[in-house]
């Protein structure tokens, strides 16, 4: 019988942290029960805890305390809290063509504002460990779209060079320029367009400078976009040489002037 009581007591201790066990002040003053041969505290529980019939507190040679005289305080080890998580929703960008603005220029019309997604969770803890998380509420503050005017007007301008004289361009772009040749290990010596890698041939990102575009490079001269490269993305270009080791170029920021392939065609 006592074996069953002990098992039930272990189960109860697993569910509750006992903050104060027995308060018997006023009944037995200044006396403490210890589980030794002289003092013994026993619990009698009927039906494995479903009904408490009686609890007897005994000590050798002492009086018996009734159930009404014993106060038990328990504190649950479970705790439930709310956790609010905020996530940013990036605003979208809309471009509006402006035929009166020069090509390549942009103007902010309406500034965008990021939105917010708010997630509320019910989180259950066992002592200090999170054991369950449930989403109970979601709120959304929609982002505000950003609007940008994008110029489409082509304006041709003349640029006076020191080597080839005046050239007419429709767009000026700042780029990071490096050099290359077709003599590297595994290289075929041919461009993406099928031409030879020589001075006057360049590699570009077709999204920035279309293949087949003629342009002028300060410090290099006239070049034609005929090649591409894995590292040539955005405003990066590779200047071609028959032998890059002898090419009069290192790696630097410079300006290029687009001479052909404008959205409205070439200059008449």
| pLDDT single digits (tens) 208-258 | 999 999 999 999 999 999 999 989 999 999 999 999 998 889 899 999 999
- pLDDT at position 262 over 60: yes
Provide the number of structural domains found in the chain: 3
Q: Give the CATH number, domain containing residue 138.
A: 2.20.230.10
Domain assignment of residue 167, yes or no:
yes
Give the Cα separation of 198 and 246 in Å (integer): 12
Same domain, yes or no, for 122 and 50?
A: no
CATH code, 177: 2.40.40.10
pTM: 0.59
- The answer to whether the CB of 8 falls within 8 A of the CB of 49 is yes
pLDDT in tens, 149-191: 999 999 999 999 999 999 999 999 999 999 999 887 778 889 9
What's the pLDDT band for 94 if we cut at 50, 70, 90?
very high
- CA gyration radius, the chain: 42
Ramachandran angles phi, psi of 155, nearest 5°: -125, 120
Residues 92, 176: Cα–Cα separation, whole Å? 29
Whether residues 146 and 162 fall in one domain:
no
| Amino acid 66: pLDDT | 56
Position 232 scores a pLDDT of: 95
Give one word for 234, left, alpha or beta, with left for phi > 0 and alpha for psi -120 to 50: left
Q: In whole angstroms, what is the distance from residue 78 CA to residue 76 CA?
A: 5
Number of Cβ atoms within 10 Å of the Cβ of 14 = 9
Q: Are residues 205 and 250 in the same domain?
A: yes
Count Cβ atoms within 10 A of the Cβ of residue 28 and give its class: 0-12 exposed, 13-18 middle, 19 or more buried: middle
Specify if 21 maps to a domain: yes
- Residues 90, 21: one domain? no
């Amino acid at each position: 019988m006592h074996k069953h009581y002990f098992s039930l007591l272990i189960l109860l201790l697993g569910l509750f942290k006992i903050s104060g066990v027995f308060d018997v002040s006023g009944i037995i003053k200044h006396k403490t029960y210890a589980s030794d041969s002289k003092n013994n505290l026993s619990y009698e529980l009927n039906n494995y805890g479903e009904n408490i019939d009686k609890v007897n507190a005994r000590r050798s040679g002492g009086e018996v305390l009734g159930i009404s005289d014993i106060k038990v305080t328990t504190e649950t080890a479970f705790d439930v809290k709310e956790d609010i998580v905020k996530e940013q929703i990036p605003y979208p960008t809309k471009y509006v063509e402006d035929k009166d603005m020069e090509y390549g220029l942009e103007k902010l019309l309406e500034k965008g504002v990021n939105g917010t997604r708010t997630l509320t969770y019910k989180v259950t803890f066992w002592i200090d460990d999170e054991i369950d998380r449930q989403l109970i509420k979601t709120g959304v503050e929609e982002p505000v779209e950003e609007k940008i005017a994008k110029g489409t007007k082509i304006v041709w301008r003349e640029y006076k060079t020191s080597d080839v004289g005046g050239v007419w361009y429709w767009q000026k772009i700042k780029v990071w320029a490096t050099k290359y040749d077709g003599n590297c290990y595994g290289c075929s010596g041919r461009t993406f367009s099928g031409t030879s890698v020589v001075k006057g041939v360049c590699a570009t990102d077709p999204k920035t400078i279309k293949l087949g575009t003629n342009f002028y490079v300060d410090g290099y001269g006239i070049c034609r976009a005929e090649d591409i490269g894995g590292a040539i993305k955005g405003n990066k270009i590779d200047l071609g040489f028959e032998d890059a080791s002898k090419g009069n170029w290192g790696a630097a920021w410079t300006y290029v002037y687009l001479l052909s392939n404008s959205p409205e065609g070439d200059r008449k």
